[in-house]
Amino acid sequence: MIEDLRLAIFTALARTGRMPSPETLREIAGDQLPDALRALAAARHLALENGTVALAHPFATRTFGFSVMSHDTLWWGGCAWDAFAIPHLVGTDALVATRCPTCDAALAWVVDRTAPPTGPAVAHFLVPLARMWDDVIHTCENQRLYCSAACIPDGPGTTLDLATLWRLASHWYDGRLERGYTRRDATAAKEYFRSVGLAGEFWGL
Ligand SMILES: [Zn+2]
Ligand SMILES: [Zn+2]
């Protein structure tokens, strides 16, 4: 039942940008719904806020600062990584839009699966990999895109150019819309990060 619930949530979010109706969720999980959602959160398939789904990565159910718009669907992206991942996961090109958190400049890119967008914008991630799930909502809230390196705040974190962000996002969520999806273990995750050109302590490499 838990996998049915996970799949129903991810399928609806991918197809419509919205959660399944409460009735649909209750049809699947019945009285077990709160426990089943907690189990999915514990297994890091999603993140809850007050018992409801806030994030089912890469999808969000409220704004995290990123809209992702295809020709017929509008999604909330959970962060810079997630917003760039949605076009890859659902298999469409889309307009990813946000504001520079520092200077409020409007930023937008058409993200498709053929090549990374170009330009001076950079992503900044605050929380290192090893701590990303300590408070994943805080983590995603602090994975943003800035108009340029000059707007990135001083302090901890790592910076990615658009091409690296796009490669990171391109296959990270592969399989998530299929039954029986399992998350990468630590070794496979590190291998993936290395393959997209990441390095350093932030990524545990
Ligand atoms: Zn800026
Ligand atoms: Zn995220």
pLDDT in tens, 155-204: 999 999 999 999 999 999 999 999 999 999 999 999 999 999 999 999 99
Q: Domain of 74: which CATH number?
A: 3.30.450.410
Ligand number nearest to the C-alpha of 147: 1
Measured from the alpha carbon of residue 47, the closest ligand is: 2
Q: Are 184 and 114 within one domain? A: yes
Of the ligands numbered here, which is closest to the C-alpha atom of 132? 2
Total domains, the chain: 2
* Whether residue 30 sits in one domain with residue 117: no
pLDDT digits (tens, 9 = 90+) for 2-57: 999 999 999 999 999 999 999 999 999 999 999 999 999 999 999 999 999 999 99
What is the reported pLDDT for 69? 98
- The secondary structure of the chain as a DSSP string is -HHHHHHHHHHHHHHHSSPPPHHHHHHHHGGGHHHHHHHHHHTTS-EEETTEEEEETTEESS-SSEEEE-SS-EEEESSHHHHHHHHHHHTS-EEEEEE-TTT--EEEEEE-SSS---SS-EEEE-S-GGGTTTSHHHHHHTEEEESSGGGSPSSS-EEEEHHHHHHHHHHTTTTTTSTT-----HHHHHHHHHHTT--SGGGT-
Centroid of ligand 1 to alpha carbon of 137 (angstroms): 23
Read off the pLDDT of residues 117-130 as tens digits, 9 standing for 90 and up. 999 999 999 999 99
pTM (predicted TM-score): 0.97
Domain range for 34: 2-59
Do the domain assignments include residue 204?
Answer: no
Is the same domain home to 22 and 82? no
* pLDDT number for residue 27: 97
Are 97 and 140 contained in the same domain? Answer: yes
Tell how far the Cα of 30 is from the centroid of ligand 2, in angstroms: 29
Tell whether 170 is covered by a domain: yes
Q: Are residues 48 and 117 in the same domain?
A: no
In a domain, 109, yes or no: yes
pLDDT tens digits, one per residue of 63-74: 999 999 999 999
Domain final residue, candidates 37, 59, 81: 59
